[in-house]
Structure 1
Amino acid sequence: MDYWKSGKFPYIGLVGDFDWQERFGITDSLEGFRDHYRVNVEFPWAKDIADKARNLTVSQPVFPNLAESFLVTSGVQESLKHAFEVFQDEREQLFRSAQENLDYALRHIVPPIDFGRLLLPPNLRDYSDEVSPAEVLDFVEGEAIPMYLVPRGRTAIRLIHAETRSERRAILGDRYTTIIDDCADVLEACEHKIIRSEVEFAVEALEAMRAGYNRTAQGMLTVLLDSIVGSFYPGKEKRTITNRKKEHDPPELLLEMSIRESLVWLPIWNAHEAFWPYKGDPVPHYYSRHASVHAVSRKQFNKRNCVQALMLVTSLLGYANHLACSLD
């Protein structure tokens, strides 16, 4: 899937408008170029023309024919030709000097911009040398594990580099406690009033997990996820998010999203993989919203699936908080 077709990049505008000459400290260099041009090109050229003009003896003859006219004016032509040759040489030298100064500025003055780092979510920006934005997008396209805000960078790197779903689930179990802590930090930072109620329920589920009631928490988090998704997409579009058919590519709604939005919504879409008990679909061992609601069982309700549901809710609430704060 080509995530770049939409041309939407959430970090465009991060730097903002500014005066490039001043920002990169090359104003002085450009002034130097202009001084060099005036001293070494304009002044010598003008002086050369003036000297040659003084040496010319041109009266006001009556030209009997074009041949005589050409002979009289040939001296002026030669002077102008020589002057323009000097000007061309000086111009080429100036441009070479300007290019050398600009190359130096780009190498030594302008700070390098790591665009890959800017495109990564905040929890992964310190790991731009270990993972690329394309790898993160590829991961969330196929998993119901979010990468936006949670989990912490080192855990996220382990999950992305794991080769199988079994390995990823093992990591979820191994990092169960630290992932809860990561989610607690993000939820604590969600201060906007518009999501206050949802954050309270998420924190209550999180505390239930810490107390050992992960099944209770998974039920709460699954219902809460439904509620928040419905707040974002109250109409027919909700079915686009909550109706993930097996072996189908993401819908156009998701393809048109920015990178940040994709990191939030693709895992939620994957968590809504089709599950039809009456068709004989087996209960999956990995987290499934539909199985959690329609097939309550020990196979579906477990610590790994619970912490996965917590991550989905936390990532979505963190995104909602950021969006609401930016619109204030």
Structure 2
Amino acid sequence: MSNEVEEPEEGSQPEPFDPSGWLRALQPMTDYYRRFAADLVRPLTESYTATASIGRQIAQQYVEAAGVAARLRESMEPVHAFMRQYWHDMFATLESLKDYIYPPNLREAQPSIREFEQLLLEEGIPLMWVPGPKVVRALLDAPDAVERRRVIGRRWKGIVTHCSTVIDSVDHPDLQESRGFALDCVAALRDGHNNPAQALAANLLDSLMRSHFRSADRVKLTSNKKGGAKFDLNDHEVRVALTFAPVWYAHAEYWPKNGDPIPRVFGRHPSAHGVSRSQYSRINAVYGLMLVTSVLKFFDVELER
């Protein structure tokens, strides 16, 4: 076998390359992949078309709904206006009710029912109209009854001044004589005459109750017997309950003939029937003045003119 390469004959040329034959040979494979790709894309295309159709429907429905909503809003505007005015009036009414229940000295503190029960019923501290807001806050912040009594003892001058201001504001014609006696209590305390101030306050309180309540109502508000029913705030209109709960406390039963010890806290009965150093003191005189002031202002507000 010869390793020589055979030379082409002179004058002969190689045939040019024709790719069409290769394309025809590859045509079946090309068709297969085209169909394969089409099968893959078709679901996506159909899904997109369907989604687009749904989107157009949703968009159309949204436009229609927006139109309905706009018409609905327009038709509901009178209702909305009515409700806005209704709630405005409702909150205004609640605000007025709050102002009715709470006199100016309580509007900032607004004690809870439990605080009212503790201070009014358990300790006999008046809170309606007097004392002033700062003293009210100090009383509510005090940890116990002993400290609250000390608050009143330390701040007695400010309390007396606030009582004087409230008494000065009493302008009902039927209360002018009582107003004068209440101012006498103020003057006596300021001049250091604690005992006369307490005695006058205790008797003025009794006179006010007898002058402006029927006997049955007065007894109900002042009947504080040992083992008897406790004053129930729910049994009375709110302002009546809050004003007269400490009055009820001040009428705790006291019978010297039964050997009852003279209480150290202010009481109407021991002020009249148990005159002593135990009962008479500057702090008890301040309690008596606060009670008289609160009751006097209550009648000033409530009595017909």
TM norm structure 2? 0.67
Equivalent of residue 173 in structure 1, options 145, 148, 153: 153
Q: Which string of whole-angstrom CA distances, capped at 9 and with x for unpartnered residues, describes residues 247-294 of structure 1?
A: 544357x64322111111111011001112222221111111111111
Counterparts of residues 168-317 of structure 1 (less than 5 Å)? 168-246=148-226, 248-251=228-231, 255-317=234-296
- From the superposition, tell whether residues 212 and 153 of structure 1 become closer, same or farther in structure 2 (CA, over 3 Å): same
In structure 2, what is the Cα distance between the partners aligned to 1:192 and 1:303?
Answer: 29
Query: Contact conserved, 1:241 with 1:272, CA < 8 A, in 2?
Result: no
Matched AA of 2:138: R
- From the superposition, tell whether residues 251 and 144 of structure 1 become closer, same or farther in structure 2 (CA, over 3 Å): closer
Q: Give the drift of 1:235.
A: 1.9
Q: Give the drift of 1:117.
A: 4.6
In structure 2, what is the Cα distance between the partners aligned to 1:260 and 1:297?
Answer: 34
In structure 1, what is the Cα distance between the partners aligned to 2:74 and 2:254?
Answer: 67
Q: Which has the larger radius of gyration?
A: 2
In structure 2, what is the Cα distance between the partners aligned to 1:305 and 1:289?
Answer: 11
Equivalent of residue 126 in structure 1, options 100, 105, 108: 108
TM norm structure 1? 0.63
Matched AA of 1:90: V
Q: Unmatched 5+ residue regions in structure 2? A: 1-63
Corresponding residue number in structure 2 for 1:59: none
In structure 2, what is the Cα distance between the partners aligned to 1:246 and 1:175?
Answer: 32
Q: Give the drift of 1:152.
A: 0.4
Corresponding residue number in structure 1 for 2:133: 153
Q: Give the drift of 1:233.
A: 2.3
- From the superposition, tell whether residues 188 and 91 of structure 1 become closer, same or farther in structure 2 (CA, over 3 Å): same
What's the secondary structure of 1:207's corresponding residue? helix
Q: Which string of whole-angstrom CA distances, capped at 9 and with x for unpartnered residues, describes residues 285-323 of structure 1?
A: 111111111111011000110000000000011111111
Kindly report structure 1 stretches of 4+ aligned residues shifted beyond 6 Å.
none
Q: Unmatched 5+ residue regions in structure 1? A: 1-85
In structure 2, what is the Cα distance between the partners aligned to 1:152 and 1:319?
Answer: 16
Q: Percentage identity across aligned positions?
A: 30
Q: Give the drift of 1:224.
A: 0.7
Query: Contact conserved, 1:286 with 1:300, CA < 8 A, in 2?
Result: yes
Matched AA of 1:240: K
- From the superposition, tell whether residues 163 and 247 of structure 1 become closer, same or farther in structure 2 (CA, over 3 Å): farther
Query: Contact conserved, 1:272 with 1:288, CA < 8 A, in 2?
Result: yes
In structure 2, what is the Cα distance between the partners aligned to 1:158 and 1:244?
Answer: 28
Counterparts of residues 71-150 of structure 1 (less than 5 Å)? 90=68, 94=72, 110=88, 115=95, 117-118=98-99, 119-128=101-110, 131-132=111-112, 135-150=115-130
What's the secondary structure of 1:261's corresponding residue? helix
In structure 1, what is the Cα distance between the partners aligned to 2:144 and 2:114?
Answer: 18
Which structure ranks higher in relative contact order (CA pairs < 8 Å, sequence separation ≥ 6)?
A: 1
Q: Which string of whole-angstrom CA distances, capped at 9 and with x for unpartnered residues, describes residues 156-178 of structure 1?
A: 12223323221111011111000
In structure 1, what is the Cα distance between the partners aligned to 2:148 and 2:265?
Answer: 10
In structure 2, what is the Cα distance between the partners aligned to 1:187 and 1:149?
Answer: 10
In structure 2, what is the Cα distance between the partners aligned to 1:314 and 1:219?
Answer: 15
